[in-house]
Amino acid sequence: MVSLSAKKVVCITGSLWTHKHDAPRHLLVKEGFMRPRWFTTGRALHDADYKAISKTSFQLAQAESSVLAFMKYGQVFTGILKDDFQKALEESDSGVLVVGFPEVIAQVAENYLQAKVFAFKPEGSDLSESLDPANKRGQLHRIDIDVLETGAWDEVMAEIKAAIT
């Protein structure tokens, strides 16, 4: 088993997503990365296994500094609690994989300076300003990708592996 200090934190964000099994978010999980459970004060935004909490519970967790990262989406708060992140870190073989909105990814990167942030974008598109601090700290790796190109995800995985090794 890998020691906690040797485990990695990998964050993925950007405007390009795929549900294909050769996408990095699936491959990294196969390689021992675990995704932390997210919370929401509303209903789930996509197919992830969200933990539903009340807005009052969120506000209490925020006041107790128990929220690692969050964002407001309409009237709903969504994010990751510190305990859920720590649990994923402890239970994983390789580390934690956080896939989400730039605002959330930026907060994770700020709290875990060893985090590597990968932003998947079409060539020439702009990155979220939320990622500027991670870029200044050297955590950000922009990956321009054309998902229709044969072998595109293979190249991305090679780039990710090189950056996290």
Q: Based on the structure, what is the number of domains in the chain?
A: 1
Domain carrying residue 84: 4-164
What's residue 10's pLDDT? 95
**Per-residue pLDDT band at 19 (split at 50, 70, 90):** low
CA dist list (Å): 138 to 33, 87, 108: 22, 26, 14
pLDDT tens-place string over residues 103-140: 999 999 999 999 999 998 888 889 899 999 999 999 99
pTM score of the predicted model: 0.90
pLDDT at 1 over 60: no
For residue 95, what is the domain's CATH number? 3.30.63.10
